């Protein structure tokens, strides 16, 4: 079963998210191949159309309908139904992750002409700027009836997009919740990615020891994961309570504690997923000394918190940390020190930042 995952702006992070997800779901990955922001995965089992909602870093998911070299592929396409609608007029796009793009584009034109369909090829006019600076194109209109894709070099895969992330509802939900704290909150999309990187399973317990107004908690609860949230700020805990009630989650599935996470007590959890304080929101690039002091404070805090909970948490620890721009470079925390002071091993270290952001994030995934 071959599927295409069109990844969001941080390819490295989204790729890690998708691969970890299938590993956790025990849907074996037989093979995968990355071209630009297209990740083609050969999976042992079928996936549901709604799977796109499980990810924070996936734009669209497609299913491969035919594959083969440039000679074989056209013969294979002749045997399959390409248009599933009932009107005899359609607009379509062709996502491009292949050198075989033009051959397929011409094939589609010819095929629709033969089938007497008034088919209009539309260009991808929307765009995403990837973290590495490259721009990739996406559909910008919702007047598209079919989205096809072509992927691969020697072996070409052709398929159809089966679902697309509904960013509009995701953002609407985030904006409408009663308690918001824009400057400190993490986006629901990044929260989903961190949750997936933690390998947490449904019904397990996730601990967020710096829960703020509860973005990570609510994204986990939506997935059927139980949560414990801790924050030393009473207002933040009250904000979390209001937000989780607004979502109408079953209150037996969450616990909120107003305490300092370097000494708070919990009965047990499976994973930690959190965004601690990343230091001040800086408007100007700081001197190296200030950046180093911020990082040192961060390291000391995260070590105290991990050590406080490590006896009670069986699985992974996923956290963001400050990634501070000084001149053209960025400084990150001393992960070797964090790892050696807590007894964990590093699984992933992935940067997440925007070009003009002074304090970006370095994301760490630690395991025992
Ligand atoms: C970056 S914010 C977390 C934002 C959160 N992810 C959200 O979406 O609202 C960090 C939070 O950590 C809390 N905090 C800082 N030090 C703490 C500590 N030692 N124990 C518990 N909470 C702490 C702060 O009060 C703040 O709410």
Q: Parallel, antiparallel, or unpaired: how do β-strands 271-274 and 205-208 relate?
A: parallel
Taking the C-alpha atoms of residue 350 and residue 9, their distance in angstroms, rounded to an integer, is 13
The number of beta carbons lying within 10 Å of the beta carbon of residue 310 is: 16
With tokens 């370095």, the residue in question is 362
168-367 homologous superfamily: Vaccinia Virus protein VP39 (3.40.50.150)
Beta-sheet strand order (sheet of 58-68): 29-35, 38-43, 2-7, 58-68, 156-164, 146-152, 89-98, 118-121
Burial 269-306 (b: 16+ CB within 10 A, else e): bbbbbbbbebbeebeeebeeeebbebbeebbebbbebb
* Ligand 1 geometric centre to CA of 172 (Å): 23
Taking the C-alpha atoms of residue 272 and residue 306, their distance in angstroms, rounded to an integer, is 9
Looking at ligand 1, which atom is closest to the CA of residue 278?
1
Cβ proximity of 1 and 47 under 8 Å = yes
* Ligand 1 geometric centre to CA of 341 (Å): 22
Bridge partners, residue 320, by sequence: 363
Taking the C-alpha atoms of residue 365 and residue 272, their distance in angstroms, rounded to an integer, is 10
Q: Which one, of 90, 84, 100, lies nearest residue 158 by Cα? A: 100
Q: What is the pLDDT of residue 31?
A: 97
**273 in ligand 1 pocket by Cβ < 6 Å?**
no
* Ligand 1 geometric centre to CA of 222 (Å): 21
* Ligand 1 geometric centre to CA of 264 (Å): 14
Q: What is the pLDDT of residue 268?
A: 98
Q: Which CATH number is correct for 2-165, 3.40.718.10, 3.40.50.1370, 3.30.2130.30, 2.10.10.90?
A: 3.30.2130.30
Q: Which one, of 215, 210, 192, 360, lies nearest residue 277 by Cα? A: 210
Q: How far, in whole angstroms, is CA 354 from its chain's centroid? A: 15
Could you tell me the sign of the dihedral formed by the alpha carbons of 193, 199, 204, 207, in that order?
A: negative
Q: According to CATH, where is 3.40.50.150 located in the chain?
A: 168-367
Q: What is the pLDDT along the chain (368 residues), one digit of tens a residue?
A: 999 999 999 999 999 999 999 999 999 999 999 999 999 999 999 999 999 999 999 999 999 999 999 889 999 999 999 998 899 999 999 999 998 899 999 999 999 999 999 999 999 989 999 999 999 998 887 789 999 999 999 899 999 999 999 888 888 889 999 999 887 889 999 999 999 999 999 999 999 999 999 999 999 999 999 999 999 999 999 999 999 999 999 999 999 999 999 999 999 999 999 999 998 877 899 999 999 999 999 999 999 999 999 999 999 999 999 999 998 899 999 999 999 999 999 999 999 999 889 999 999 999 99
**359 in ligand 1 pocket by Cβ < 6 Å?**
no
Half-sphere exposure (Cβ direction) of 194: Cα atoms closer than 13 Å: 31
**230 in ligand 1 pocket by Cβ < 6 Å?**
yes
Taking the C-alpha atoms of residue 185 and residue 136, their distance in angstroms, rounded to an integer, is 28
* Ligand 1 geometric centre to CA of 277 (Å): 6
Instruction: Please tell me the residue having the least CA distance from ligand 1 atom 3.
Output: 212
Taking the C-alpha atoms of residue 292 and residue 106, their distance in angstroms, rounded to an integer, is 57
With tokens 């009250």, the residue in question is 238
Q: Which one of 174, 184, 210 would you pick to mutate in the ligand 1 pocket, going by the greatest count of ligand atoms within 8 A of its CB? A: 210
Q: What is the pLDDT of residue 142?
A: 75
Q: What is the pLDDT of residue 339?
A: 98
> Cβ neighbours of residue 219 under 8 Å, at least 6 residues apart?
188, 191, 192, 195
Taking the C-alpha atoms of residue 295 and residue 334, their distance in angstroms, rounded to an integer, is 8
Measure the CA dihedral 348/2/192/320, to 10°: 20
Q: Which one of 207, 214, 215, 232 would you pick to mutate in the ligand 1 pocket, going by the greatest count of ligand atoms within 8 A of its CB? A: 232
Burial (Cβ within 10 Å: 0-12, 13-18, ≥19) of residue 43: middle
Q: Which one of 187, 231, 261 would you pick to mutate in the ligand 1 pocket, going by the greatest count of ligand atoms within 8 A of its CB? A: 231
Q: According to CATH, where is 3.30.2130.30 located in the chain?
A: 2-165
* Ligand 1 geometric centre to CA of 2 (Å): 41
């Amino acid at each position: 079963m071959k599927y295409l995952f069109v990844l969001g702006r941080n390819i490295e992070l989204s790729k890690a998210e998708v691969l970890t997800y299938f590993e956790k779901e025990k849907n074996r990955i037989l093979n995968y191949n990355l071209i630009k922001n297209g990740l083609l995965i050969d999976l042992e089992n079928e996936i549901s159309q709604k799977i796109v909602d499980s990810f924070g870093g996936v734009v669209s998911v497609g299913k491969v309908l035919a594959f083969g070299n440039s000679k074989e592929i056209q013969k294979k396409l002749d045997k399959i139904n390409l248009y599933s609608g009932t009107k005899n007029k359609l607009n379509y796009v062709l996502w491009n992750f292949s050198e075989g793009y033009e051959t397929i584009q011409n094939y589609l034109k010819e095929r629709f002409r033969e089938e007497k369909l008034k088919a209009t090829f539309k260009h991808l006019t929307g765009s995403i700027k990837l973290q590495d600076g490259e721009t990739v194109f996406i559909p910008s209109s919702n007047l598209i009836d079919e989205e096809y894709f072509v992927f691969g070099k020697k072996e070409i895969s052709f398929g159809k997009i089966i679902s697309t992330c509904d960013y509009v509802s995701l953002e609407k939900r985030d904006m409408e919740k009663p308690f918001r704290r824009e400057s400190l909150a993490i986006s629901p999309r990044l929260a989903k990615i961190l949750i997936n990187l933690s390998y947490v399973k449904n019904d397990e317990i996730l601990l967020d020891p710096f829960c703020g107004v509860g973005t990570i908690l609510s994204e986990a609860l939506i997935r059927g994961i139980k949560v414990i949230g801790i924050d030393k700020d009473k207002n933040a805990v009250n904000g979390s309570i209001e937000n989780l009630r607004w979502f109408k989650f079953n209150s037996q599935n969450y616990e909120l504690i107003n305490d300092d996470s370097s000494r708070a007590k919990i009965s047990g959890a499976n994973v930690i997923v959190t965004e601690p304080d990343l230091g001040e929101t800086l408007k100007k690039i700081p001197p190296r000394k200030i950046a180093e002091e911020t990082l040192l404070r961060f390291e000391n805090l995260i070590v105290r918190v991990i050590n406080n909970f490590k006896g009670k948490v069986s699985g992974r620890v996923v956290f963001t940390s400050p990634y501070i721009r000084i001149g053209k470079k960025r400084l990150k925390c001393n992960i070797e020190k964090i790892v050696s002071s807590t007894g964990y091993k590093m699984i992933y270290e992935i940067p997440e930042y925007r070009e003009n952001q002074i304090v970006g994030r370095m994301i760490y995934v630690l395991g025992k």
